[in-house]
Amino acid sequence: MRKGIIGILLFATASLHAQNNVIDEVVWVVGEEAILKSEVEQSRIEMQSMGQRMEGDPYCVIPEQLAIQKLFLHQAAIDSVEVTDATVGQDVEARINFYIQQIGSREKVEEYFGKTLPQIRETLFDLIKNEKMIDEVKYNLVKDIKVTPAQVRRFYKEQPEDSIPFIPTMYEVQLMTISPKVAPAEIERVKNLLRDITEQVNSGKAQFSSMALRYSEDRESASHGGELGFSSRSNFVPEFSAVAFNLTDPKTVSKIVETEYGFHIIQMIEKRGDRMNVRHILIKPRVSDDELVAALNQMDSILVDINNKKYTFEEAVYAYSSDKETRSNYGIMVNSSRESDYAGTSRFELKDLPSEVAKQVSGMSVGDTSKPFIMVNSKGKEVVAVVRLKNRINGHRATMQDDYQQLQDLLVAKLNEERVEEWIREMQQKTYIRINDDWRNCEFKYPGWIKE
């Protein structure tokens, strides 16, 4: 993971830093667009810094990649592809916030890239807008590709055995949780602390950012003075958005807001159209040992009733579980890992499950229910939980019976790639292309660049 983050930062560095020491010349022309030697050199340094291995001569591979990008951008202009500034701006802010989180502060980001934040925003805006336009052109090329079950079966039969994807062991898990009750005195303690912080900020005795660093239990934002970055309403839970987006005075602090994460106070920084940058301080009420024990005892009683056939696990989930994400789904967990091929499904590799759940599941048989245990849920709160292993699919080569969706996705991806490659070859024939003599002696992926 760390290597991937460094790679992203190095990519941005190469894209954002000016290469003043490169003597420029036009080495390719694609349509009306020139590819400069400096562009190629930038990309080469970038890939070298990232430790990427390149198949072939970089002075052949890189210009070809840049040429393909220019073909897509040219088509985007012809198709009048529109990418709204608001959409691009949101992604720019998300990327800048990512840089701040990884590097440490706004000042360190500016030092790292050798540019001010407004300059970084301007450069990123163009880069991200181009990315989105290219993605839109590709989508338009492949959006009508559909496959039938017969095509998937034929595709599967035609694959050599060693080319059929291996599906790792997958788990389907049901979850039931109980949130321990919090004493009213503890809730009042939290509110009094937030009221005191609010009074100090509003009176000028303290800065909101310094109080966030000291008190906020959202440690990710606390390290940046509570700042959350520019976001739209949909990025926050409704209770938070309703208060944050009604703030108008950056010098005052909001009323106390309760969400599923805890209790917040909010301060406006800046508003831009339908997006806003705010700071917040989050305090979570503490759960006492006695309250945890009471929740464990309650869960034990529920399991006794399940074992005595008073109701099923699914009925108990609907009646008692405090987990909103699974309660209406018979307790079945949904894979939300962005890095998983099974995101959006009920299937998990063990590594994609929450660590406390994975520990329970690893030694269970299908149909088993765990003993009650304490875990931290996705909102950062301690809950008492039990899990039931609904299904385990052992690691295997993909089959039509068990893995149709994965095989269908594989076939669609193959057809998408073929469609895009076919389009590139067609565009090579229609587009004016000139390559300097010193840059022509290459084995290109698409040989049609050179027209005799």
* One-character DSSP codes across 396-441: EE--TTT-HHHHHHHHHHHHHHHHHHHHHHHHHHHS-EEE-GGG--
Rounded to an integer, the average pLDDT of 5-33 is 61
Residue 398 has pLDDT above 50, yes or no: yes
Supply the pLDDT for residue 92: 82
Residues 107 and 92 in one domain: yes
* Residue 52 pLDDT grade (very low, low, confident, very high; cuts 50, 70, 90): low
- Count of the separate structural domains present in the chain: 3
Contacts for 136 with CB less than 8 Å, ≥ 6 apart: 76, 81, 83
Residues 49 and 100 in one domain: yes
Tokens standing for residue 83: 């990418």
Question: Rounded mean pLDDT of the chain?
Answer: 88
Domain holding 206, by residue range, is 184-283
Question: Is position 157 within any domain?
Answer: no
Residues 90 and 173 in one domain: no
* Residue given tokens 């698409």 in the structure block: 446
Residues 18 and 56 in one domain: yes
Question: Is position 405 within any domain?
Answer: no
Question: Is position 298 within any domain?
Answer: yes
Residues 311 and 171 in one domain: yes
Residues 260 and 308 in one domain: no
More confident residue, 12 or 288: 288
Residues 231 and 338 in one domain: no
Q: What are phi and psi of 138, to 5 degrees?
A: -60, -40
Which domain CATH number covers 251?
Answer: 3.10.50.40
Question: Is position 434 within any domain?
Answer: yes
- Asked if 134 contacts 141 with a C-beta cutoff of 8 angstroms, the reply is no
Residues 176 and 196 in one domain: no
Whole-angstrom distance, CA of residue 158 vs CA of residue 172:
30
More confident residue, 234 or 262: 262
Residues 304 and 279 in one domain: no
Pick the last residue of a domain from 251, 283, 315: 283
Residues 237 and 100 in one domain: no
Residues 40 and 117 in one domain: yes
Residue 8 has pLDDT above 50, yes or no: no
Question: Is position 161 within any domain?
Answer: no
